[in-house]
Structure 1
Amino acid sequence: MNTGGAPRLDQLTGLRFIAALLVFLSHVPWPSAPDWLQTMLAQGFVGVSFFFVLSGFVLSHSYTGRITGGEMSYARFMALRLARLSPLHLATALPYVLVGIWRNNLTAPVALLNLTFLQSWVPDSTYYFSLNAPSWSLSNEMFFYLCFFPLCFVAAPRRWLMTALLGLTVVACAVYAVAHYNSVILLGERTVGHWVFYIFPGFRLLEFLAGMALYDLWQRGVRLPRAALPLAWGLLFAAMFVADSVPEAFRMSLFFLPVVTLLLWVHLDRSRAICGVLSGRTMVLLGEASFAFYMIHQPAIRICSRLVGELPYRDLLVGASAFALSLVGSLLLFLYFERPAERSLKGWVNRRATAQRHPAE
């Protein structure tokens, strides 16, 4: 994990691939799997929660000192984050734009909101799942980035209070939604609860704030005992096993938030054996390519589903072939497009910032 001048926590990079894999598994159809396994695999969206919590932690680890110390302006920070997300977002959206134009079923508002990272603010699944559907989470990330810079100047206790108040607000809204609007569909094909509690950036900010709060605790030397590692993984699988019985408003993020935060926390100690595996060269490379893996896995599943057709063991063939395609494709995209494009854009941003601080005389 590249954290600028901060100490590297490569095990978190490896863990990113596990999170992306969970999301992948949740999107592959598994009709021949046992019911209990289908239930667990369907909860793979928990990987998105992990990404949001991790984002709050990593940005705090990488940028807090530079921002509060006056080394990083708001404009430069946002330009660097755009350099991180934009190349892959635009590259994976382009095929959908071209196909939409060819089929004449893509409207300008849908395309514009998606390409400008605003789709998650519209409570209509035809907007927030437009073009390359996983890109909805990038809309949330961009909102988190906008919030992060000012949050760096808020004292930790006040940020914890903000997190607690937002958490109570989300819980209260979830209780109300379960009682009155649990199955209501107003726009698109998804329920109101799906947008409010899974998509809406304002509520998903809670996970980002949890990551920032975790960083504050970690900086203060608060550590968990070794026994917490198997406990965290056990709780994750147990939560995935029973999640189907949890109302949607709670299941989509609130239910998994404590488990995900605990899972990240226990992996901050590099002395643990599993952290050594996760920080190995192979897992770090896979983790670095996990953004590309996440962004291309749904198109890969669709392609492989069509190619496999109705062959025996269809779900296993689709899963295996889509995984291979996503894995190879993500590595190629990362090595030969995403990383070079990001480095080039970030280099330009940093050179421009340097030139503005030290204009030629």
Structure 2
Amino acid sequence: MNNNKLGTKPHYQLLDGLRGVAAIIVVFFHLTEPLASSHLDNVVNHGYLAVDFFFLLSGFVIGYAYDDRWDKLTIGGFLRRRFERLQPLVVLGMTLGAIGFYFTDSTIWPLIHTVPVWKLIVVMLIGYTILPVPLSMDIRGWQEMHPLNSVGWSLFFEYIANILYALGLRKLSNKALACFVVLAGAVLLHFAVTNPNGDVTGGWTLNAEHMRIGIIRTIFPFFAGLLLSRVSRPTYIKNAFVWCSLLVAAVLLMPRIGGATHLWMNGLYEAFCIIIVFPLIVYIGASGVVRSQTEAKICQFLGNLSYPLYMTHYVLVYFYVAWVSNHKGITLGQAWPYALLTFSGAIVLAYVSLRWYDEPIRAWLRKKLK
């Protein structure tokens, strides 16, 4: 089956732009995180919910792009397309993470200078596959399944969702899919309000607890996005990109709710955002139209930059975190020049990665994987 015969559908430009807005806020979240005394007082407190938003966007876009093409598309063809889209930047992120590994000198990573090169290379090669690294191979000491590029865990679950979709869940009727999504939403709600942390964070460690969290965080938003792509009937909404961007920012920048004494309140807020607010944002974004050439260029730029930014920014954040940890007690007011420098570097690195690596590699893969 020649995948290229399927062609491509027009993009939802506003959704591309919103993906970029969320990716930028993720970077800010990771820059403010080491300055917080706990998970209760991070300035960008709910930045991690961007991952759940990405999953929902992914389910919506995949449903739109592929649901009506399975008469011409094979499972292998679908997975090749996803591999071509996702894997080049997975490889780049792991490679850059490996290169920078020994240079992030800090007391918070005492293991770094004891790790032999062969072990670093093995971890990098496993990382290329996006398969989790076992705890016995945790060379950084943060108990992450991808110690060379922290964000790799969400790509692992993205692949799981894609595979489940391709292998059978795409065949569910709208009614059956709705029942599945409602059940997944109930599980998510229960987890969010009963989790001892008072939030939905987790999924990045190869153990039973984090695998459970990762699956819960992936299944509802991804398949809710798929259902939304099938049943929504977008109507024209004026200034959709502005309103959706503000909503995304409001959700992700919202301070912690309930404090340390009412953890369930914050869990309820996060469940509400994932189950109600994020689908609403995607619906509004899909209903909007680009109103000017300037807005079109902004959305295109943000959309193109979003995935490279997400997959490469933490390589620079490692250096920033090491610097913060070596300056105990530093405040946001003191650290902001370094944070801004790291953010600017992340934007440049993402753009260079996009133009000089991701786009050429994907073009090459399209030819090779026909």
TM-score with structure 2 setting the length: 0.75
Question: How far has the Cα of 1:102 moved from its partner?
Answer: 7.5
SS at match of 1:133: coil
Q: Does the aligned pair in 2 maintain the 1:293–1:326 contact within 8 Å? A: yes
1:29 aligned partner, one-letter code: T
Q: Does the aligned pair in 2 maintain the 1:13–1:284 contact within 8 Å? A: yes
Q: Does the aligned pair in 1 maintain the 2:46–2:255 contact within 8 Å? A: no
1:289 aligns with 2:305: yes
Alpha carbons of 1:286 and 1:174: their partners in 2 closer, same or farther (altered >3 Å)? closer
TM-score with structure 1 setting the length: 0.76
Gaps of 5+ in 2: 1-5, 103-111
1:155 aligns with 2:168: no
Could you tell me which residue of structure 1 aligns to residue 109 of structure 2? none
Q: Does the aligned pair in 2 maintain the 1:25–1:41 contact within 8 Å? A: yes
Q: Does the aligned pair in 2 maintain the 1:97–1:131 contact within 8 Å? A: yes
Return the match for 2:285 from 227, 252, 267: 267
Could you tell me which residue of structure 1 aligns to residue 50 of structure 2? 47
Could you tell me which residue of structure 2 aligns to residue 74 of structure 1? 75
1:209 aligns with 2:227: no
Gaps of 5+ in 1: 351-361
2:132 aligned partner, one-letter code: Q
Return the match for 1:119 from 113, 132, 137: 132
Q: Does the aligned pair in 2 maintain the 1:289–1:330 contact within 8 Å? A: yes
Return the match for 1:62 from 62, 65, 71: 65
Distance in 2, Cα, partners of 1:23 & 1:188: 16
Q: Does the aligned pair in 1 maintain the 2:97–2:148 contact within 8 Å? A: yes
Q: Does the aligned pair in 1 maintain the 2:22–2:50 contact within 8 Å? A: yes
1:104 aligns with 2:104: no
Could you tell me which residue of structure 1 aligns to residue 158 of structure 2? 141
Question: How far has the Cα of 1:30 moved from its partner?
Answer: 7.2
Could you tell me which residue of structure 1 aligns to residue 318 of structure 2? 302
Question: How far has the Cα of 1:337 moved from its partner?
Answer: 0.4
Could you tell me which residue of structure 2 aligns to residue 322 of structure 1? 342
Question: How far has the Cα of 1:163 moved from its partner?
Answer: 0.5
Distance in 1, Cα, partners of 2:62 & 2:364: 20
2:29 aligned partner, one-letter code: S
Distance in 2, Cα, partners of 1:54 & 1:231: 13
Distance in 1, Cα, partners of 2:86 & 2:193: 34
Question: How far has the Cα of 1:251 moved from its partner?
Answer: 6.7
Alpha carbons of 1:234 and 1:102: their partners in 2 closer, same or farther (altered >3 Å)? closer
Alpha carbons of 1:80 and 1:249: their partners in 2 closer, same or farther (altered >3 Å)? farther
Alpha carbons of 1:11 and 1:260: their partners in 2 closer, same or farther (altered >3 Å)? same
Distance in 2, Cα, partners of 1:238 & 1:335: 31
Alpha carbons of 1:49 and 1:279: their partners in 2 closer, same or farther (altered >3 Å)? farther
Q: Does the aligned pair in 1 maintain the 2:181–2:224 contact within 8 Å? A: yes
Could you tell me which residue of structure 2 aligns to residue 354 of structure 1? none
Please tell me the root mean square deviation across aligned C-alpha atoms, in Å: 4.2
1:332 aligns with 2:345: no
Tell me the number of residue pairs that the alignment of Structure 1 and Structure 2 aligns.
334
